[in-house]
Structures are given as C-alpha cells and as structure tokens.
C-alpha cells in the first residue's frame, strides 16, 4: 500500500513539475515576446559599437543612429564647458541661443559664448542679480531679457535695465521664467505671472485674484498659437488667450496629488514646472512626468511607459515637432513616439544615447557625453543643441 502511494505520488510529482514548467515558460514568453528577425538585427547593430559617437568617428558611421531614431534628431560630438573653460560657475540654470552667440545663466552671473570665448556679466555690470535662471531674446527688438534671483534685467544696446518689485509693478523679484511674446515680456514668479508691455511700459499681473489659479505661484511661461501658457505650481496650466483676454485652466482631473488615475485623461499632475508650444502641440512638464496636448487630446508620459529619463522634470523646450526634456537624471527628446535620451556614465566623461521606439530600446555609446545628468535648461537651433546642467554646459551637434 505504502509503495503504491509512493508510486502514485511520484507520478503526480512528475506531472506537477511538467505543468509548472509549462506555466513558467508561458509567463516568460508573455513578459519577453519573441523578437522579430528585424529586431534581432537591430539589437546586434546596437551593441556592435558602430554608433560610437566620439569626435574621432566620422559622420557616415552615424547613419545607423539616424535610422534607429527614425525622424528624431540625434546629437553627438558633445563639447562640455565648466568653470575651467571660463564659465563663472559650474551650476548652469539656463541656456539660450542668440544668433552666433550663446547666453548661459549661471549661479554666479551671465556667461556669453561668442567666437569661442566666454565673457561674464555680473551685478557690477548692472545685472539685477548674479543668479541668472531664465533668458529670452525678443524677436522684435533683439533685446535680451534676463530673469534673475533678484529681479528682471533688460540687456539692450550693451546696457542693463533692472525691473524689481520696488521700481516697477513686477509681481516678485525671483523670476523663474521669462518669455518674449511680441511686444509683451511675460514673467513667471512666486507672486504671480505677468507681462510687461514694452510699448506702454506697463505691467499687468495675474494672480489667484484675477485668474483661475489656486495660488499665485507660477514657475514657467511660454506662448504660441495666440495663447500664453502659464505653468502654475499646484494649479496646472493656465491658458491666456491674447485675443479674448480670457483665461482657462487645465488641471489633473482626478484631483489627487498622490495618484494619476488615468494617464491620458488630462494633465498628469497639477504641480507643473514648464510649458512649451510648438507645431500646434503644447508640452507640459511636472515633477511626476510629462503631458502632451494637441488641442483635443491629452497624452501622459512616465519613465515607466516611455523613453523619458526620469519623471522629475525641471524644464522643457519644444522646437518644431521635437521637445527636449530636462530631467534630474538625463536629457530626453521626443516627437511623442520615438525617444532619444542622453545619459552620462557615473564615473567617466562618457555616456550613451538611448533610443526607444515602443518596446524596443537601443543604447549607443557616446564619448564624451553631456557634462552632467541633472539637466536644468536646454535650447536648440539649426544643428546645435545646448544644455545647461548642474555641472557645466554642453553643446551637441546634430548627426546626419
């Protein structure tokens, strides 16, 4: 009797192990679907090192990179600048390309790169404060508007003019963002957003008293399509229509700080940090991910479901159909479908570009890479990409 039970048990055991094996194999297959031959080939290419993007690599070698990135631009030939190269500080908050020169806002002054040389401007030159956190250039006049930790400066014909709470109607002295929209210069501050009419020299201020904001804390501002988009900290995005002078707001529909109930039902979070409008698309960054709005539908992006480097996003700027996303752990760019993310390795100057298309991911070594992964500012023009980081600024060239 005992023997027969053991034999039966043995049969059941074998059956159980076989069943378990089948179940496990099924689970593994579900988790990692079989790759197509094409994908396998791409993987082989990506690890071959053909895409090595250093200065000693000829541009033709990058054609594979371009192919992988589909229509997305990929930048390489990175050149990094720190205090050793002439910057007043390693901590760079913002960067703006202005014709043949590049303006960089640092913790210790405004740095201007022109003809391969850096020149620094500080309070001694008339700057409102040495901490320069935002820069924009007026297309109408060519004036440079500089948002600092202690006021707004206009740099025109070599002279700085300062606007503060005391000497003008500006909402607050800490100017997180400045944006030129025709004759209007918009600012986002902790005391509200507002615009300075350069024709009438008047400020108009928007706070929770006269705009649909919960609080007057604003962090970013941009414009496009006849509208201004204010990133209101805790209040989502406030849209101001230049024609009707009316507001409307966009907030996270679930109403809770601790969750995002549905990813594409609206803005993913109310704590917004920047807005950028280009190619009829509004991009919005938060510390919880990114949102895209085409005027009809919202789409949310997290680092778990896209190629986004990190959900903590300091700033973003869209140029054409591509948005450049400054996260705390890498620089990402996307057209909404394909992602190119740049990351520096921890203990070397090298790094990689990670190209993500749906579930496919390719890593391409870069040597050198961007100067730091904590990205605070970005600007792109023609074939150049400039990046402001926690430790220096970087310039990349578009690969063809």
> For binding to other proteins (CB under 8 A), which residues are involved?
5, 8-9, 12-13, 15-17, 19-20, 23-24, 27, 90-91, 93, 129, 131, 133, 149-150, 165, 171-174, 176, 189-192, 215-217, 219, 233-234, 254, 256-263, 268-269, 271, 287-289, 302, 304, 310, 312, 328-329, 372-374, 389-391
Q: How many CA atoms lie within 13 A of 131 on its CB side?
A: 8
Strand order in the sheet with 330-334: 313-319, 322-327, 330-334, 338-344, 351-357, 360-366
Q: How many Å apart are CA 327 and CA 96, to the nearest integer?
A: 18
Strand order in the sheet with 109-114: 92-98, 101-106, 109-114, 117-121
Strands 298-301 and 289-293: antiparallel
What is the smallest separation between the CB atom of 87 and other proteins, expressed in angstroms?
Answer: 13
Which is nearer to other proteins, 160 or 312 (by Cβ)? 312
Q: How many Å apart are CA 284 and CA 310, to the nearest integer?
A: 14
What is the smallest separation between the CB atom of 68 and other proteins, expressed in angstroms?
Answer: 26
The 3-class SS string of 175-202 reads: EEEEEEECCEEEEEECCEEEEEECCCCE
Q: How many Å apart are CA 65 and CA 72, to the nearest integer?
A: 10
- For 213, the token pair is 């904001």
Which is nearer to other proteins, 118 or 312 (by Cβ)? 312
Q: How many Å apart are CA 339 and CA 376, to the nearest integer?
A: 19
Which is nearer to other proteins, 187 or 364 (by Cβ)? 187
What is the smallest separation between the CB atom of 338 and other proteins, expressed in angstroms?
Answer: 22
Which is nearer to other proteins, 23 or 41 (by Cβ)? 23
What is the smallest separation between the CB atom of 263 and other proteins, expressed in angstroms?
Answer: 5
Which is nearer to other proteins, 157 or 304 (by Cβ)? 304
Q: How large is the greatest C-alpha to C-alpha distance in the chain, in angstroms? A: 104
What is the smallest separation between the CB atom of 280 and other proteins, expressed in angstroms?
Answer: 26
What is the smallest separation between the CB atom of 304 and other proteins, expressed in angstroms?
Answer: 7
Q: How many Å apart are CA 98 and CA 290, to the nearest integer?
A: 27
Q: How many Å apart are CA 249 and CA 260, to the nearest integer?
A: 18
Strands 298-301 and 117-121: unpaired
What is the smallest separation between the CB atom of 313 and other proteins, expressed in angstroms?
Answer: 11
Which is nearer to other proteins, 344 or 362 (by Cβ)? 344
Which is nearer to other proteins, 51 or 250 (by Cβ)? 250
Which is nearer to other proteins, 32 or 44 (by Cβ)? 32
What is the smallest separation between the CB atom of 154 and other proteins, expressed in angstroms?
Answer: 20
- The residue written with tokens 């025709």 in the block is 182
């Amino acid at each position: 009797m005992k023997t027969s039970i053991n034999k039966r048990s043995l049969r059941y055991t074998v059956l159980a192990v076989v069943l378990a094996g089948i179940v496990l194999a099924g689970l593994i297959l579900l988790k990692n679907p079989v790759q197509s031959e094409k994908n396998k080939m791409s993987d082989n290419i990506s690890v071959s090192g053909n895409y090595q993007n250093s200065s000693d690599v000829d541009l033709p070698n990058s054609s594979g990179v371009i192919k992988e990135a589909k229509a997305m631009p990929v930048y390489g030939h990175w050149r990094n600048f720190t205090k050793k190269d002439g910057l007043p500080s390693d901590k760079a908050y913002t960067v703006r390309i202005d014709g043949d020169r590049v303006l960089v806002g640092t913790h210790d002054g405004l740095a201007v790169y022109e003809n391969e040389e850096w020149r620094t401007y500080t309070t001694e030159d008339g700057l409102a404060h040495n901490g320069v956190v935002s820069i924009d250039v007026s297309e109408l006049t060519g004036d440079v508007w500089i948002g600092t930790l202690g006021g707004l400066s206009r740099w025109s014909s070599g002279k700085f003019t300062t606007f503060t709470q005391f000497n003008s109607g500006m909402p607050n002295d800490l100017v997180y963002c400045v944006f030129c929209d025709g004759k209007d210069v918009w600012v986002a501050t902790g005391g509200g957003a507002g615009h300075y009419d350069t024709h009438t020299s008047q400020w108009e201020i928007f706070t929770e008293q006269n705009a649909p904001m919960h609080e007057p804390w604003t962090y970013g501002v941009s414009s496009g399509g006849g509208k201004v988009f204010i990133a209101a900290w805790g209040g989502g995005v406030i849209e101001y229509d230049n024609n009707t002078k009316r507001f409307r707001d966009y907030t996270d529909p679930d109403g809770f700080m601790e969750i995002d109930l549905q990813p594409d039902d609206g803005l993913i979070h109310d704590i917004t940090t920047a807005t950028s409008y280009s190619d009829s698309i509004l991009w919005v960054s938060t510390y919880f991910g990114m949102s895209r709005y085409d005027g009809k539908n919202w789409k949310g992006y997290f680092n778990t479901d896209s190629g986004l480097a990190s959900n903590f996003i300091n700033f973003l700027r869209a140029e054409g159909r591509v948005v450049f996303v400054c996260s705390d752990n890498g620089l990402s760019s996307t057209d909404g479908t394909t992602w190119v993310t740049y990351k520096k390795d921890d203990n070397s100057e090298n790094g990689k570009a990670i190209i993500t298309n749906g579930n496919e991911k390719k890593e391409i070594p870069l040597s050198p890479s961007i100067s730091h992964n904590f990205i605070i500012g970005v600007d792109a023009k023609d074939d150049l990409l400039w990046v402001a980081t926690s430790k220096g600024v970087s310039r990349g060239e578009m690969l063809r």
